Amino acid sequence: MRIAVARETEPGETRVALVPELVGRLTGAGYEVAVEPGAGRGALIDDQAYVAAGATVNENALHGAGLVLSVQPVGLEALRFCAPRAATVSFLFAGQRAGDVAARQAAGITTFAMEQVPRISRAQSMDALSSQSLVSGYRCAIVAAGRLREFFPLSMTAAGTVRPAQVLVLGAGVAGLQAIATCRRLGAVVKGYDVRAAAAEEIASLGATPIDLDLPTLDGAGGYAREMSEDRAALQRERLAPHIAAAHAVITTAAVPGRQAPVLVTAAMVAGMRPGSVVVDLAADSGGNVEGVTAGGVVNVPTADGLGSVQLWGGSNVPSQMPGPASRLYAQNVVNVVQLMTRDGRFDPDPADEIVTGMLVTHPSLTTEAP
Ligand code: NAD
Q: Using one digit for the tens of pLDDT, what is the confidence trace for 50-106?
A: 999 999 999 999 999 999 999 999 999 999 999 998 999 999 998 888 889 999 999
pLDDT of residue 182 exceeding 80, the answer is: yes
When pLDDT is cut at 50, 70 and 90, the band that residue 311 belongs to is: very high
Give the Å distances, CA to CA, from 288 to 105, 237, 261: 32, 15, 6
Pocket test for ligand 1, best of 169, 194, 240 (most atoms within 8 A of CB): 194
pLDDT, position 235:
96
CA of 277 to the centre of ligand 1 (A): 26
How much of the chain exceeds pLDDT 90, in percent? Answer: 92
DSSP letter for each residue of 217-239: --B-GGGPBPPPPHHHHHHHHHH
φ, ψ for residue 349 (rounded to 5)? -60, 135
pLDDT, position 364:
86
Centre a 10 Å sphere on the Cβ of residue 154 and count the other Cβ atoms it contains. 13
Give the Å distances, CA to CA, from 141 to 135, 182, 249, 345: 10, 6, 9, 43
Q: Write out the catalytic residue numbers.
A: 119, 124, 127, 130, 224
pLDDT of residue 40 exceeding 60, the answer is: yes
d(CA 14, CA 258): 25
CA nearest to 56, candidates 20, 81, 30: 20
Ligand 1 environment, Cβ below 6 A: 119, 124, 127, 129-130, 133, 170-176, 193-196, 199, 223-225, 228, 253-257, 262, 264
pLDDT, position 143:
98
pLDDT of residue 371 exceeding 60, the answer is: no
pTM above 0.80, yes or no: yes
User: What mean pLDDT comes out for the span 259-284?
Assistant: 97
- Classified as helix, coil or strand, 312 is strand
pLDDT of residue 365 exceeding 80, the answer is: no
User: What mean pLDDT comes out for the span 109-133?
Assistant: 97
CA of 23 to the centre of ligand 1 (A): 32
When pLDDT is cut at 50, 70 and 90, the band that residue 366 belongs to is: low
When pLDDT is cut at 50, 70 and 90, the band that residue 368 belongs to is: very low
CA of 108 to the centre of ligand 1 (A): 34
Is 117:123 a contact under the CB 8 Å cutoff? yes
Residue nearest to atom 39 of ligand 1 (CA): 119
Q: What is the DSSP letter of 211?
A: P
Atom number of ligand 1 nearest to Cα 222: 30
Is 318:312 a contact under the CB 8 Å cutoff? no
* Segments of 91-236 assigned E as strands: 110-113, 155-157, 160-162, 166-170, 189-193, 209-210
How much of the chain exceeds pLDDT 70, in percent? Answer: 98
Q: How many residues does the chain have?
A: 371
pLDDT, position 109:
95
Listed range (170-179, 215-224, 235-244, 263-272) with the worst mean pLDDT: 215-224
CA of 177 to the centre of ligand 1 (A): 10
d(CA 123, CA 25): 18
Beta strand pairing call for 278-281 and 309-314: parallel
pLDDT, position 200:
97
- The ipTM value here is 0.96
β-partners of residue 3 are 33, 67
| Residues near 249 by beta carbon (within 8 Å), at least 6 away in sequence | 144, 145, 147, 148, 165, 166, 167, 168, 183, 188, 277, 278, 279, 280
Is 192:172 a contact under the CB 8 Å cutoff? yes
pLDDT, position 95:
84
User: What mean pLDDT comes out for the span 161-170?
Assistant: 98
Atom number of ligand 1 nearest to Cα 254: 7
CA nearest to 113, candidates 365, 367, 355, 364: 355
Atom number of ligand 1 nearest to Cα 124: 41
Atom number of ligand 1 nearest to Cα 172: 9
Beta strand pairing call for 166-170 and 56-57: unpaired
CA of 222 to the centre of ligand 1 (A): 10
